[in-house]
Each structure stands twice: as C-alpha cells, then as structure tokens.
Amino acid sequence: MGLRINDTAPDFTAETTHGTINFHEWIGDGWAVLFSHPKNFTPVCTTELGTMAGLEDEFRKRNAKIIGISVDPVEDHERWKDDIKKATGFTVQYPLIGDRDLKVAKLYDMLPADAGDSAAGRTPADNATVRSVYVIGPDKKIKLILTYPMTTGRNFDEILRAIDSIQLTAKHQVATPANWKQGDDVIITAAVSNEDAVQRFGSFETILPYLRKTKQPTA
C-alpha cells in the first residue's frame, strides 16, 4: 500500500547540501514541501529547481519550507547550482537531499520497488516516477501528493495555490471550488447549517441545495 493523504509522512535521516537532517525535526512546527526530480544536469529539472528558488519567499510567507531530493550525490547538487543560476537567474538556497542509496525515494514511493539499491547504473526509465511532490503539515501528516512524468515540468504556482486552500480550509469549515485562488468565494461545507452559516459568514449564496458560496473568511 502506497502513501495516502493523512498518512504520517515517513521520517528519515539524510545527507543534504545543508548537512545531515532528521526530516521531522527539520520540518519543526511549520509546513514542508518535499519534491523530487529525476536527475541533476538535465533540462526540465534545471528549470524546476530554479523556479522553486525564485518562489522560496512565497513558500516562506505560508510558513512552508522547501526541500529537494534526487538520487544524485550531494557534491553534484552543489556543482549543479551554478547551472541553475545561469539558466534561471535564481540561486538555490534551500536544501537538496542526496539519496544515493534510494532510501528516501523508496520510502516515499518515488521509484519502482525493483529500482535497485543504488543510483549506479540506473537508466532513464528507472527515473520515470521521480518527479513527485509531498506537502506535509505541522502535524507531520501528508496533505497533498502529486506525481508528474519526466517530460512534464511542474507548475509550482499550483502548489502554492493548493497550500493556500489547505491552510484556509483547515481553519474554517469551508472548501474551495475548481480553479479557486486567494480572494475568491469559497464553498460552505455540508457540516454547517444555514443558520450557522449566517452566524459564521454573515451571508451566503445558495447555488444548489448542496452548493452554498460565501466570501473567503479573513480572520
């Protein structure tokens, strides 16, 4: 059985560009985004890590740390940073995990179970599933799982949008509709009666008996 939403994120100790970390201790009392990439010194991954470097302040505003991982050694991560800066204009300052023995990749179902025991001799096909995203809450529970194919670079603005929704809906009894973004109307959950909705939100619009919209709570 693979990892699922609301599972406790597996803890681990790993070598990173910031030294050895214990994952749960590193997360602390905030949020975390663990994202993997297939291989250093490859084109799509270069654009992705640079994009994340450019968005690091946006994640920080949401009390979310970011950490990258691949099966490449930490030394290669350090060498690659110059290329990322040259290609994207952004300097990678967040930690990158060097998972040479595939321990973390297997722990988080980022690789097939039969991928082997090290990065040595791996083919591109072995890397096919290594473009995953895990959003983890302060309770160390998994809140979001996304996996992309090798040829498709991720939209990290969508991950920020999802974090906004997850944090908002954890605080209020609301959900967010398709394509929602900060400031848009939200959906009142079925657990809230019409009377309670008036007390909580002041006013709301009934679209269908089971679909009620209101302004995004600000408090």
Distance between CA atoms of residues 141 and 42, nearest Å: 31
Report the candidate in 77, 75, 58 with the shortest Cα–Cα distance to residue 66. Answer: 58
Longest pairwise C-alpha distance within the chain: 64
Is residue 38 among the annotated active site residues? no
The encoded tokens of residue 42 equal: 């490859």
Distance between CA atoms of residues 76 and 97, nearest Å: 11
Q: Active-site residue among 9, 45, 66, 162?
A: 45
CA angle 199, 163, 127 (to 5 degrees): 155
DSSP type of residue 212: E
- Other beta carbons within 10 angstroms of residue 87's beta carbon come to 13
Give catalytic residues, as residue numbers.
45
